Amino acid sequence: MYTDKVMEHFTNPRNVGEITDPSGVGEVGNPTCGDIMKIFLKVEDNIIKDIKFKTFGCGAAIATSSMVTEMAKGKTLDEAEQISNKAVAEMLDGLPPQKMHCSNLAADALKKAIEDYKKKQAV
């Protein structure tokens, strides 16, 4: 059902945890499946220097959270904002159709964290 990459990111997720004093935080949830994702960013000079996640959900939700943090780390905010749910799924060598909504959550949580950072900068 799941690809080897999905299983690898589920059993050995990268960047799990919280960042104290984050530059931005994004949280999304899907009430239908119960998945909740929270992404924390540390931004310096417009670059994502550190990124962590906390996810409550299925294996696909954890794997997509892990993958999106790997994809965003070290990127500029503009580059990270371009990460799509489709790109996350492709980097995991695909997700079962009934789990595609999980990749949507990961990309959405990243975008919300970037939005939060930008709002804080505008104050």
7, 16, 33, 91: the catalytic one is 33
d(C-alpha 66, C-alpha 12), whole Å: 9
d(C-alpha 104, C-alpha 118), whole Å: 21
Nearest to 58 by CA among 13, 88, 24: 13
58 is catalytic: no
Task: Region of 94 please: left (phi>0), alpha (psi -120 to 50) or beta.
Answer: left
88, 102, 105, 110: the catalytic one is 102
102 is catalytic: yes
Catalytic residues: 33, 102
